[in-house]
Amino acid sequence: MVQKINKTLIRNFLTIRYNPEDKPLIPSINWKNITSNNNDSAGLHTQKILETSIQKRFEQNNTIAISLSAGIDSSVSLGLLRKCFPKKKIVALTGVFEGRFDESPVAKKIASNFDAKFKTIKMDSIFTTMPKIISISKKPRWNTYQHLIAKEAKKYSDSLITGDAADEIFAGYVFRYGKFLNLHRPKNNWLIKTINYLECHNRDWVPDQETIFGKKIPFKWNDIYNYFKPYFSNPLSPLQQVILTDFNGKLIYDFIPTAKAIGSFYNCNVSSIFLDPTVISFGNSLAMSDKYNIKQNRGKLVIRKIAKRLGVEHLDEKHGFSPGLYLDWKKKGKKICESYLLESDSNIYSQKIINHNWVIRSFEKVENDGDIRYLNRLISILALEIWYRLFITKEISSSKKL
């Protein structure tokens, strides 16, 4: 069955990287759920409910696979898995992209400390495998490149554990919190706070965003801003509002659907110990002082307490499994994008979805200035064109290498 072109989805994917009008896979959080009523400074109760989550969900698995970076979320997940299941076989998988910081030596040590088998997976160019990446979610989404972790995990287990939602629930995006708080003023209304919030996610859009689209995709910033009004027009503190927005935005409409799509593709249960309903409820009602230290700009305080008890020696700086986009662009992506995006008869132009002149100008910005924001948009537009050829015109297959 041919998919219909959802104009709103295209506009939103190219502006905030997800579509808030999709049906969420888990319930959203009302601002009243962010109560700060609970205290757990030592992280003991948080650890208890995480262990309960693990025992309840993975007791029947003979082998468990885990996506292991050297960061705190997946490392604590591994430590708790081993504490709950001293005898089970655990396989830890780390993805390595060319040109990115290689976390695998630290991850390998963490895996060894918790008696887990360890394997490093070399991640492909996101450009050459774009049809496969797009086919997994069946949407113009290119952040399913981590599917290679699930593909390998399926060889060992029907379950793959990730660290998803720890950042959104326990205040992990400290690099954005500091920026948002610096921009914030006491009298800011919901609209100004929304604009400031989006400025903290400015790799998802560009200064001339309104000129990206063709005549078939109407664009007004106010339509985007209105998605965020419920999260910034309430009595919560500014930082609580940011956490509420992170949970109800990228987590619900991007990260969770991406993990679900990957899991469905490989018939593997991709899940996180942090997404247990009890963990979500308790974590969102946890006092901010137990999650974030504003003076030190340090987050996930209760998770750090758990890590210390478990003896987890993780990297403090956030890296994760993400591609080196500019290197990949130089080696593979530029030539591929030229062949699909510079031709004026490409589907996205003939169907008046994207402005061809904007794409030409953006190529120049990336080539001359190395502008990563414009590179991100070009990759998303490439994903849109590939999606169109996969699902609308059906002129290419998911196995095609670009």
- For 41-62, what is the mean pLDDT? 94
> 325 in a domain, yes or no?
no
Q: In the sheet that 117-122 helps form, which strands lie side by side, from edge to edge?
A: 117-122, 89-96, 63-67, 159-162, 269-272
pLDDT value at residue 293: 94
- For 80-92, what is the mean pLDDT? 97
How many residues does the structure list for the chain? 402
Backbone angles phi, psi at 271, to 5 degrees: -150, 170
> 106 in a domain, yes or no?
yes
- pLDDT tens per residue across span 247-284: 999 999 999 999 999 999 999 999 999 999 999 999 99
- pLDDT tens per residue across span 280-327: 999 999 999 999 999 999 999 999 999 999 999 887 765 555 678 889
Mean pLDDT of all residues belonging to the chain? 93
> 366 in a domain, yes or no?
no
Decide which of 91 and 36 is more confident.
Answer: 91
What is the rounded CA–CA span in Å between residue 136 and residue 387? 11
Provide the Cα torsion 30, 32, 33, 35; round to 10°. Answer: 150
Q: For the chain, what is the domain count?
A: 1
Task: List the CATH number of the domain containing 114.
Answer: 3.40.50.620
What is the rounded CA–CA span in Å between residue 21 and residue 223? 12
- pLDDT tens per residue across span 88-139: 999 999 998 877 778 899 999 999 999 999 999 998 899 999 999 999 999 9
Short-list 240, 314, 316, CA closest to 283: 240
> 111 in a domain, yes or no?
yes
pLDDT value at residue 2: 45
Q: What is the DSSP string of 290-352?
A: GT-BTTTTB--HHHHHHHHHHT----SS---S---HHHHIIIIIHHHHHHHHSSTTSHHHHTT
- pLDDT tens per residue across span 1-13: 345 689 999 999 9
User: Hey, what are 338's tokens?
Assistant: 């030229």
pLDDT value at residue 196: 98
- pLDDT tens per residue across span 191-224: 999 999 999 999 999 999 999 999 999 999 999 9
> 49 in a domain, yes or no?
yes
pLDDT value at residue 322: 63
> 353 in a domain, yes or no?
no
> 40 in a domain, yes or no?
yes
Q: What is the DSSP string of 239-260?
A: HHHHHHHHIIIIIIIIIHHHHH
Residue 84 belongs to what domain range?
31-171+244-310
pLDDT value at residue 318: 57
What is the rounded CA–CA span in Å between residue 120 and residue 96? 7
> 197 in a domain, yes or no?
no
Percent over 70 (pLDDT), the chain = 97
pLDDT value at residue 228: 98
